[in-house]
Amino acid sequence: MSPTQILVHDLISRHSVTPHDAGCQQIIGARLAALGFSCETVESGPPDFRVTNLWALRQGAVDDAPVLMFAGHTDVVPTGPLDQWHSDPFVPTVRDGRLYGRGAADMKTSLAAMVVAVEEFLAARPQPRGAIAFLLTSDEEGPAHDGTVKVCDLLAARRQRLDWCIVGEPTSTATLGDVIKNGRRGSLSARLTVRGVQGHIAYPQLAKNPIHLAAPALADLAQISWDAGNAHFPPTSWQMSNIHAGTGATNVIPGELVVDFNFRFSTESTPEQLRQRVHAVLDRHALDYSIDWTLGGEPFLTPPGALSKALQAAIREETGAQAQLSTTGGTSDGRFIAKICPQVVEFGPINASIHKIDEWVEVNAIDPLKNIYRRTLEALVA
């Protein structure tokens, strides 16, 4: 196996289910320290959900040199039913050209590729002009309250310079290098409670059915065009994910209706605008209601620039693919990093198996991914 493949195997074998790091950051930190990185462990969170973060920085040879940061997460999602896996999810296993294991695609292959890319780059250029940094967390797959966001707050307080960041999320779709994420939509969730009056279903005049009362308002919300999107983002979408009312009895009008919904929103809308428009609809229908809002993340966008162009060129040189810039998909820790770094993109292996049973990465894509990261280093900080 190549050095990158060996490191991937080592990382997959660690049971780093959120929020546990299981020693992954120690492995990576030791290798970075040997290259001259200053490494700092930042722990956060309550005792029963302790999060481990790694911040590592290697200064450049030139004062006030640009900084390229690699970012990612060492935690993985739970395995799901073990009896449905064809091999132990924490025993890296190669079958038919694929490496199987929890975290193979999301995102231990990217982490290994980043580390070995930096090792190779510094072996060829021991004193590069620019600086290199790593930000790793064990809280990306969890609530994300004590991970990357905490380190970003710390770096902002220190006025740490960051110019470019590559997050190792699995972004490729059909082949390695076909998609780079240069932004993500925002996520705004809410739980709506509509109150009525419970009563016997045979005497509706003595009750107020919150399902009947809320249905016209929900229909209106489902029909709204929230914005038209723009050149980088699709239009903002509103979707109900859960709706519940009733006591379980068929002869009782319920006293309340609870609806969970979510906005995935573009840079054309703000959270406050979306909240105001929802309240306006509910108020117009004269509902007795309350809403608990949760802002999961604001949208971010990196317009085409030095980072995306360098990464696209590296992909083209390594694989021949012409990478497309995209903002589709869910949220990522890029939303936190974008607040302190002007150019943030995400790039990694094929994402077809992420979070699934028998998660995998193509073996013949592991070293090309490493080479793409190394070529990007050569273009930006050499």
pLDDT digits (tens, 9 = 90+) for 126-142: 999 999 999 999 999 99
pLDDT score recorded for residue 214: 98
pLDDT score recorded for residue 34: 98
Catalytically active residues are 75, 140
pLDDT digits (tens, 9 = 90+) for 163-220: 999 999 999 999 999 999 999 999 999 999 999 999 999 999 999 999 999 999 999 9
pLDDT digits (tens, 9 = 90+) for 29-88: 999 999 999 999 999 999 999 999 999 999 999 988 999 999 999 999 999 999 999 999
pTM recorded for the entire structure: 0.90
pLDDT digits (tens, 9 = 90+) for 228-258: 999 999 999 999 999 999 999 999 999 999 9
pLDDT score recorded for residue 330: 83
Q: For every residue of the chain, which 3-state class applies, written as one string?
A: CCHHHHHHHHHHCCCCECCCCCCHHHHHHHHHHCCCCEEEEEEECCHHHCEEEEEEEECCCCCCCCEEEEEEECCECCCCCHHHCCCCCCCCEEECCEEECCCHHHHHHHHHHHHHHHHHHHHHCCCCCCEEEEEEECCCCCCCCCCHHHHHHHHHHHCCCCCEEEECCCCECCCCCCEEECEECEEEEEEEEEECECEECCCHHHCECHHHHHHHHHHHHHHCCCCCCCCCCCCCEEEEEEEEECCCCCCEECCEEEEEEEEEECCCCCHHHHHHHHHHHHHHCCCCEEEEEEEEECCEECCCCHHHHHHHHHHHHHHCCCCEEECCCCCCCHHHHCCCCCEEEECCCECCCCCCCCCEEEHHHHHHHHHHHHHHHHHHCC
